[in-house]
């Protein structure tokens, strides 16, 4: 396991602030040992939570030539047919994965191919499970086109706590399945918009792992 580069600055600054706070607690609350102990333990627990948020476990990725692997850790909260209006303008199957602050928050490409579309959208910060979060929250939309012509769209969506989406996608670049695409800080959601004839391999409320869990199977041609 290692820690994501997006967290280095936050971890360092948080560590320094908590060390300073602990020193202040030690001197200012010298006559209140129980309160001092509780505050010190609470601050250390908070630092541990911050550090673990940026963890990236070592995993051997699943490779599925005609399949979709999970782009993130989390829970499947939506499986439904929707009208996709940003890129395809047709019916798609939406599979949404909610990431709590306790999940790993690195994001991965669900398929291999060429990035045929990328767009960042500023927006609101509704709770990530809100139905309108897919279209109104801050988000990044990425479309990957496989060699056989099948295209898969997925979105990184900020939530009420998440305030920064990091996305490394660039139009025209070739990407591999399970390669890292970005990171969302402190709780969020990812939507997959799949061809309507895709075979969905997960269920609602199922916990999935990024780079590991098979989400769907695609048709081999368009």
pLDDT of residue 221: 59
State how far the alpha carbon of 14 is from the alpha carbons of 9, 39, 51, 165, 175, in Å.
8, 16, 9, 20, 34
Place of tokens 């850790």: 73
Question: pTM here?
Answer: 0.83
Q: What is the pLDDT of residue 151?
A: 95
Query: Rounded distance, CA 209 to CA 186, Å?
Result: 17
Please give the angle made by the CA atoms of 129, 179 and 196, to the nearest 5 degrees.
55
pLDDT tens for the chain, 222 residues long, are 777 777 688 788 888 988 888 788 777 777 777 887 888 888 888 888 888 778 888 888 888 888 999 999 999 999 999 999 999 999 999 999 998 888 888 999 999 999 999 999 886 655 555 555 555 678 899 999 999 999 999 999 886 555 578 899 999 999 999 999 998 876 688 999 999 999 999 999 999 999 999 999 997 655
Q: How far apart are the first and last CA of the chain?
A: 38
d(CA 190, CA 103): 13
Instruction: Please choose, from the candidates 182, 190, 14, 186, the residue with its C-alpha nearest in 3D space to the C-alpha of residue 102.
Output: 186
| Distances 194 to 33, 84, 88 between C-alpha atoms, Å | 58, 10, 10
Is 188 catalytic? The answer is yes
**Class (C level, CATH) for 67-217:** mainly beta
The catalytic residue among 134, 140, 188, 198 is 188
Name the residue ranges covered by the structural domains of the chain: 2-56, 67-217
Question: Cβ of 134: how many Cβ atoms within 10 Å?
Answer: 21
Spatial neighbors of 204 by CB under 8 A, at least 6 apart, are 76, 77, 78, 79
């Amino acid at each position: 396991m290692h820690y994501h580069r997006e967290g280095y600055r936050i971890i360092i600054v948080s560590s320094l602030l908590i060390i300073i706070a602990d020193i202040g607690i030690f001197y200012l609350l010298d006559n209140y040992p129980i309160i001092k102990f509780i505050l010190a333990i609470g601050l250390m627990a908070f630092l541990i939570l911050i550090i673990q948020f940026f963890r990236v476990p070592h995993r051997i990725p699943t490779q599925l030539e005609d399949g979709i692997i999970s782009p993130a850790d989390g829970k499947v909260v939506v499986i439904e047919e929707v009208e996709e209006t940003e890129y395809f303008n047709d019916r798609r199957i939406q599979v949404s994965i909610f990431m709590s602050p306790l999940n790993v928050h690195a994001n991965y490409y669900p398929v291999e191919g060429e990035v045929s579309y990328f767009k960042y959208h500023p927006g609101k910060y509704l709770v990530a499970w809100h139905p309108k979060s897919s279209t109104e929250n801050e988000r990044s939309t990425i479309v990957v086109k496989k060699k056989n012509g099948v295209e898969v769209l997925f979105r990184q969506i900020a939530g009420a706590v998440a305030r920064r989406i990091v996305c490394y996608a660039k139009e025209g670049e070739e990407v591999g399945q399970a390669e890292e695409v970005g990171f969302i800080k402190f709780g969020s959601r990812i939507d997959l918009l799949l061809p309507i004839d895709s075979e969905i391999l997960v269920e609602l409320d199922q916990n999935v792992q990024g780079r590991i869990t098979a989400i769907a199977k695609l048709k081999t041609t368009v």
